């Protein structure tokens, strides 16, 4: 199924995207070539203590005449408080980087993205959220994902927990897209199974949610001349389709056989392609409701997406039937009845979620029935996502999706 060529195409990506086994070995000579001499490397303690590849990066940078400072205080789901503490550490240490290198999962990359703005602007991150034209431009960032994945190495956002707030806040601007994205599948070989599953379903969510989202021609960019997200087009769907196929082909193997290099390569590409789609088309209900669910349960980003994804797909069977039928085929379904195929896509997606050990309904997530109205309200409050809903009345649809997710009900299969 192809989209109408009437949809405008807007594409903003990192100027350099490297994806190959061993791509990490190009970082040091590339930084040298680009004229960068003082690196702030942002990571977490696991890599400092256990990763030979990380040690190799530091040695290579020094060997190429690049001075290195390491901030190793990264943590899952970075908060605005962590960003401010890291900014103060940089000032105290007298570090004056001319570029940053983020090494780790989406959490470390988002922390580094936020630091690329707070360091040159010398301001708390809370004062910079909600703007896209900061007084000083962000420092250039090399993003090196070790999970597959969030795709943060491609996107214009840094997602941060704000203490006391029900959902995460986003620092968002095209200027925040990394200068170099380095996707090296070998770095994911050490990913624990839980992280492989969560991140892999995050990638599938990015692919499917952006495939089904609002068309670019109908997307309200609110007069922004340089929007980060602007709806789906023929171009984004190319990436979404390939990413979806790759996740259905490789995720279960990467989860069950972590040393399978072919599966790790497939998932690294899936994550990258999914990001090439959603980092332009944008997202909607899965992420909106998943942020609300994470606020309530503190469960991981990937798992909250994974539990919501099948129920959101099911709510779109009428308006996105052809796309869902195609997704079902990519997941291995056969047949000619497009409605039956479309209804089976959420069921097959939920089977994959279950196979990689993630709960498939909200009861199993520990949500109580009286929490449902709050989930809907918090999800709707993420307006940048709610406005991209391609279905009917968004408040009614969110309420129905949450109810079905609570009871584990899909139109193609009523049983959990
Ligand atoms: N900016 C964006 O566009 C965007 C998009 C999606 C998600 N996110 C954010 O990304 C975060 C989730 O990122 P994630 O799923 O990549 O996980 P993560 O970065 O939170 O990492 C989870 C854990 O896995 C460990 N880990 C990561 N890679 C490893 C490896 N190769 N070997 C061993 N351990 C490894 C980390 O040290 C960490 O303890 C969330 O905070 C989410 O909000 C951001």
Q: What is the pLDDT of residues 186-213, one digit of tens each?
A: 999 999 999 999 999 999 999 999 999 9
Assigned CATH topology for domain 16-188: Rossmann fold (3.40.50)
300 alpha carbon to ligand 1 midpoint, in Å? 9
Counting every residue, how long is the chain?
416
- Please, what's the largest Cα pairwise distance for the chain? 65
CB 188 within 8 A of CB 23: no
CB atoms within 10 A of CB 289: 30
CA torsion angle for 192, 289, 247, 235 (degrees, to 10)? Answer: -130
Q: Is the CB of 155 under 6 A from ligand 1?
A: yes
Confidence of residue 166 (pLDDT cuts 50, 70, 90): confident
Mean pLDDT of 384-405: 97
| pLDDT exceeds 90 at position 132 | no
Query: Using CB atoms within 10 A of its CB, is residue 335 exposed (0-12), middle (13-18) or buried (19+)?
Result: exposed
Mean pLDDT of 362-391: 96
44 alpha carbon to ligand 1 midpoint, in Å? 11
309 alpha carbon to ligand 1 midpoint, in Å? 19
Q: Where are the alpha helices (DSSP H) in 34-179?
A: 45-50, 52-63, 80-93, 106-121
- Give the lowest-confidence range in 141-155, 162-176, 204-218, 317-331: 162-176
Assigned CATH topology for domain 193-407: Dehydroquinate synthase-like, alpha domain (1.20.1090)
Q: Is 18 helix (H, G, I), strand (E, B) or coil?
A: strand
233 alpha carbon to ligand 1 midpoint, in Å? 28
Q: What is the mean pLDDT of the chain?
A: 96
Instruction: Please name the residue whose Cα sits nearest to atom 24 of ligand 1.
Output: 195
The pair of three-digit structure tokens given for residue 193, joined into one six-digit string: 């199974």
- Give the lowest-confidence range in 197-206, 233-242, 384-393, 405-414: 405-414
| pLDDT exceeds 60 at position 416 | no
Where are the domains positioned within the chain?
Answer: 16-188, 193-407
Choice from 48, 72, 76 to test ligand 1 binding pocket (greatest atom count within 8 A of CB): 76
Residue given tokens 């770095």 in the structure block:
187
| Whole-number pLDDT of residue 169 | 87
| Whole-number pLDDT of residue 168 | 83
The pair of three-digit structure tokens given for residue 102, joined into one six-digit string: 């983020």
The contacts of residue 123 (CB under 8 Å, 6+ apart) are none
Instruction: Please name the residue whose Cα sits nearest to atom 33 of ligand 1.
Output: 191
Confidence of residue 375 (pLDDT cuts 50, 70, 90): very high
Choice from 107, 138, 278, 290 to test ligand 1 binding pocket (greatest atom count within 8 A of CB): 107
The pair of three-digit structure tokens given for residue 58, joined into one six-digit string: 């530091």
Residue given tokens 């360091």 in the structure block:
119
Helix (H), strand (E) at residue 42 = strand 38-42
CA torsion angle for 10, 267, 307, 328 (degrees, to 10)? Answer: 80
Choice from 49, 80, 105 to test ligand 1 binding pocket (greatest atom count within 8 A of CB): 105
Beta-strand relationship, 157-160 and 169-172: antiparallel
Closest atom, ligand 1, to C-alpha of 199? 15
Q: Is the CB of 268 under 6 A from ligand 1?
A: no
Closest atom, ligand 1, to C-alpha of 113? 1
| pLDDT exceeds 80 at position 415 | no
Q: Is the CB of 159 under 6 A from ligand 1?
A: yes
Mean pLDDT of 148-170: 91
Q: Is the CB of 43 under 6 A from ligand 1?
A: no
């Amino acid at each position: 199924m192809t989209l109408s060529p009437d949809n405008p195409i807007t594409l903003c990506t990192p100027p350099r995207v490297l994806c190959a086994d061993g791509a990490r070995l190009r970082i040091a000579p590339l930084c040298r070539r680009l004229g960068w001499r003082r690196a702030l490397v942002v990571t977490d303690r696991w890599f400092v203590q256990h990763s030979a590849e990380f040690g190799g990066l530091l040695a290579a940078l020094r060997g190429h005449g690049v001075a290195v400072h390491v901030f190793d205080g990264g943590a899952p789901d970075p908060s605005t408080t962590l960003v401010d503490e890291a900014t103060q550490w940089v000032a105290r240490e007298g570090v004056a980087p001319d570029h940053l290198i983020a090494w780790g999962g989406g959490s470390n990359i988002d922390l580094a993205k936020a630091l690329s703005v707070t360091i040159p602007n010398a301001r708390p991150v809370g004062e910079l959220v909600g703007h896209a034209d900061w007084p000083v431009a962000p420092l250039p960032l090399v993003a090196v994902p070790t999970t597959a994945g969030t795709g943060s190495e491609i996107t214009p956002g840094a997602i941060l927990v704000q203490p006391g707030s029900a959902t995460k806040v986003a620092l968002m601007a095209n200027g925040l897209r990394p200068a170099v994205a380095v996707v090296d599948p070998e770095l994911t070989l050490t990913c624990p199974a839980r992280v492989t599953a969560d991140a892999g379903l995050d990638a599938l969510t990015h692919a499917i949610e952006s495939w089904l989202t609002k068309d670019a021609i109908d997307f309200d960019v609110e007069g922004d001349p340089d929007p980060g997200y602007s709806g789906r087009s023929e171009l984004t769907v190319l990436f979404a389709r390939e990413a979806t196929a790759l996740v259905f082909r490789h995720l279960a193997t990467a989860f069950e056989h972590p040393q399978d290099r072919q599966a790790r390569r497939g998932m690294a590409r899936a994550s990258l392609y999914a990001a090439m789609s959603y980092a332009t088309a944008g997202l909607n209900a899965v992420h909106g409701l998943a942020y609300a669910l994470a606020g309530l349960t503190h469960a991981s980003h990937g798992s909250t997406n994974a539990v919501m994804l099948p129920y959101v797909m099911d709510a779109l069977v009428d308006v996105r039937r052809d796309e869902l039928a195609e997704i079902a085929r990519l997941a291995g379904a056969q047949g000619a009845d497009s409605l039956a195929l479309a209804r089976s896509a959420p069921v097959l997606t939920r089977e994959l979620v279950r196979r990689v050990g993630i709960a498939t309904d909200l009861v199993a997530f520990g949500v109580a029935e009286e929490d449902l109205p709050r989930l809907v309200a918090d999800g709707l409050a993420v307006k940048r996502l709610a406005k991209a809903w391609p279905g009917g009345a968004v408040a009614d649809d969110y309420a129905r999706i949450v109810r079905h997710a609570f009871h584990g009900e899909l139109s193609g299969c009523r049983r959990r």
